[in-house]
């Protein structure tokens, strides 16, 4: 098939490249000239494991192309995917201006049998509204399908190639059949292809992310209660996770969820409820718990240092909102860094892949360290905010000898409490008893 992909962010670039990998001819379009120039040169503008290799292979095979021309990505295509950003507005509702700009401009290039596939995350009813708009612009009924994505940053290529399900919302059986044929190579292990109404498909995306966010906020709230009652959240997590009705997925305490999906989608679904005079009580609580979780970590740091953060040096391991990506959108690290700087503390950071993105945001306000141990140099404390695998078995004796004080605030619970005590660290994690091995005033404990 000939496929047009409008938008080359995480969703559009991964989707377009993976579709080319199975033999489709794909043209990806973006209005950002610098991004298209990078891609034409064979360089991915985002970090996603496995993506660069796929871009190289499909560029060389001539199945993957990049353009800034909407006409080139639309004319003569069997399907045109819309994968533009739908960011939140101040009230939590979704900004669809980029999507409507594409719809209005692409209408003149659409063939009578071209299927427009909405890949962007959009409120319920958007498919119907796009269908009406295209009919106004073209004078005919156009085919519009909803195909929400369920890709996880850091494993997006694998998620696309081996999906746990594909969801398609369309009113035409022919459109459903065409999309089923497109996705057939990825469903060879009998993964389900779920056809439903566009409204149900749109809601499925929001409901899935809201459920995941709810699990994260739930275990984070339990973790805070564990700290106050003397329980250990690791024990509690194991105790409930073995219940098949609950499971272990997304049941890890930390400093809260971030990224481009969960925060935005929780607030968007809350806004949809408000539009229909329905207060989304659970989702409002989910969001409040997530915000509080980041503040809780800062409060632990303030308490440890008796409120005196000015002039202190803090090392940070992990900037991206999760491992496997360089994405800083809604990352807890941004909140922590801004609060420490506001308190007149110095911050030095290390992340395996997100350093350049951090430099674009903070400029010379941070010290950027190429090695993890360098971020510990002269530090009064080390703060862990992303659970990169290379941190898990890192030789912490290298870190301890270079720190001003052997203190670690672990927002991801990477280390065993007994081991940290043996290594001589003061170690404060989430939902577990704190370890105090260094000589610090009792009042700060």
- Predicted confidence at residue 188, as pLDDT, reads 83
Give the 3-state secondary structure of residue 414: coil
**What does the pLDDT look like over 303-314, one tens digit per residue?**
999 999 999 999
CA-based nearest residue to 302, from 383, 378, 219: 383
Share of the chain above pLDDT 70, in %: 98
- Predicted confidence at residue 45, as pLDDT, reads 95
Average pLDDT over residues 384-390: 96
Could you list the beta-strand ranges (E) of 263-317: 313-317
pLDDT of residue 1 exceeding 70:
yes
- Predicted confidence at residue 443, as pLDDT, reads 41
- Phi/psi-derived region of residue 347, left when phi > 0, alpha when psi is between -120 and 50, beta in every other case: beta
Question: Measured at the alpha carbon of residue 103, what is the angle toward residues 97 and 70, in degrees to the nearest 5?
Answer: 105
How many C-beta neighbours within 10 Å does residue 42 have? Answer: 11
Could you tell me the pLDDT band of residue 441, with boundaries at 50, 70 and 90?
very low
- Predicted confidence at residue 444, as pLDDT, reads 42
Average pLDDT over residues 27-43: 96
Give the 3-state secondary structure of residue 193: strand
Give the 3-state secondary structure of residue 189: coil
Average pLDDT over residues 362-388: 97
Catalytic residue positions, numbered = 261
Distance of CA 283 to the CA centre of its chain: 18
**What does the pLDDT look like over 288-303, one tens digit per residue?**
999 999 999 999 999 9
First vs last C-alpha separation in the chain? 64
- Phi/psi-derived region of residue 154, left when phi > 0, alpha when psi is between -120 and 50, beta in every other case: left
* DSSP assignment letter at 5: E
Could you tell me the pLDDT band of residue 440, with boundaries at 50, 70 and 90?
very low
**What does the pLDDT look like over 224-246, one tens digit per residue?**
999 999 999 999 999 999 999 99
**What does the pLDDT look like over 197-219, one tens digit per residue?**
999 999 999 999 999 999 999 99
Share of the chain above pLDDT 90, in %: 96
Bridge partners, residue 28, by sequence: 5, 66
How many C-beta neighbours within 10 Å does residue 248 have? Answer: 13
Gyration radius of the chain's alpha carbons: 24
Average pLDDT over residues 257-279: 94
Q: What sign does the CA torsion over 284, 290, 294, 300 have?
A: positive
How many C-beta neighbours within 10 Å does residue 427 have? Answer: 25
Residues 6+ apart with CB under 8 A from 433: 227, 230, 232, 417
- Predicted confidence at residue 189, as pLDDT, reads 78
pLDDT of residue 438 exceeding 80:
no
Could you tell me the pLDDT band of residue 191, with boundaries at 50, 70 and 90?
confident
Does pTM surpass 0.85?
A: yes
- Predicted confidence at residue 260, as pLDDT, reads 85
**What does the pLDDT look like over 117-169, one tens digit per residue?**
999 999 999 999 999 999 999 999 999 999 999 999 999 999 999 999 999 99
Average pLDDT, the chain: 95
- Is residue 433 within 8 A of residue 417, CB to CB? The reply is yes
Distance between CA atoms of residues 100 and 80, nearest Å:
14
Place of tokens 């063939």: 111
* DSSP assignment letter at 435: B
Average pLDDT over residues 69-95: 96
**What does the pLDDT look like over 49-64, one tens digit per residue?**
999 999 999 999 999 9
Bridge partners, residue 435, by sequence: 427
- H/E stretch holding 29: strand 25-29
- Predicted confidence at residue 158, as pLDDT, reads 95
The overall longest dimension of the chain from CA atoms, in Å, is 77
Distance between CA atoms of residues 81 and 27, nearest Å:
10
- H/E stretch holding 333: helix 332-342
């Amino acid at each position: 098939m000939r496929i047009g992909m409008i938008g080359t962010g995480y969703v559009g670039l991964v989707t377009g490249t993976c579709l080319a990998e199975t033999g489709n001819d794909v043209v990806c379009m973006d209005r950002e000239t610098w991004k298209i120039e990078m891609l034409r040169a064979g360089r991915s503008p985002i970090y996603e494991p496995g993506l660069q290799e796929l871009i190289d292979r499909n560029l060389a095979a001539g199945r993957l192309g990049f353009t800034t021309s909407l006409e080139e990505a639309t004319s003569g295509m069997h399907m045109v995917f819309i994968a533009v950003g739908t960011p939140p507005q101040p009230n939590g509702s979704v900004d669809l201006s980029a999507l409507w700009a594409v719809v209005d401009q692409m209408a003149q290039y659409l063939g009578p049998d071209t299927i427009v596939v909405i890949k962007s995350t959009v409120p319920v009813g958007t498919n119907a509204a796009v269908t009406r708009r295209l009919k106004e612009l073209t004078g005919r009924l156009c085919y519009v399908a909803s195909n929400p994505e369920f890709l996880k940053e850091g494993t997006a290529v694998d998620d696309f190639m081996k999906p746990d399900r594909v969801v398609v919302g369309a009113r035409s059986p022919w459109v459903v059949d065409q999309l089923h044929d497109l996705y057939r190579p990825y469903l060879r292990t009998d993964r389900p292809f779920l056809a439903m109404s566009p409204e149900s498909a749109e809601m499925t995306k929001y409901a899935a992310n809201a459920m995941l966010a709810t699990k994260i906020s739930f275990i984070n709230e339990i973790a805070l209660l564990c700290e106050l009652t003397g329980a250990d959240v690791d024990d509690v997590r194991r105790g409930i996770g073995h219940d098949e009705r609950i499971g272990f997925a997304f049941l890890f305490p930390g400093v809260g969820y971030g990224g481009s999906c969960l925060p935005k989608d929780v607030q968007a679904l809350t806004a949809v409820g408000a539009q229909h005079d329905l207060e989304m009580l659970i989702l409002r609580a989910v969001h409040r718990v997530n915000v509080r979780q980041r503040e809780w970590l800062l409060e632990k740091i303030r308490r440890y240092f008796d409120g005196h953060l000015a002039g202190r040096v803090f090392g940070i391991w992990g900037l991206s909102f999760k491992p496997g990506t360089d994405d800083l959108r809604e990352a807890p690290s941004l909140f922590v860094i801004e609060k420490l700087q506001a308190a007149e503390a110095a911050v030095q950071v290390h992340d395996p892949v997100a350093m350049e993105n951090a430099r674009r945001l903070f400029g010379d306000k941070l010290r950027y360290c190429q090695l993890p141990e360098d971020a510990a140099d002269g530090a009064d404390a080390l703060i862990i905010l992303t659970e990169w695998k290379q941190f898990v078995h890192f030789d912490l004796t290298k870190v301890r000898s270079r720190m001003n004080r052997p203190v670690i605030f672990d927002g991801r619970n990477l280390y065993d409490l007994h081991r940290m005590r043996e290594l001589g660290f003061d170690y404060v994690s989430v939902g577990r008893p704190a370890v105090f091995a260094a000589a610090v005033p009792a009042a700060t404990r």
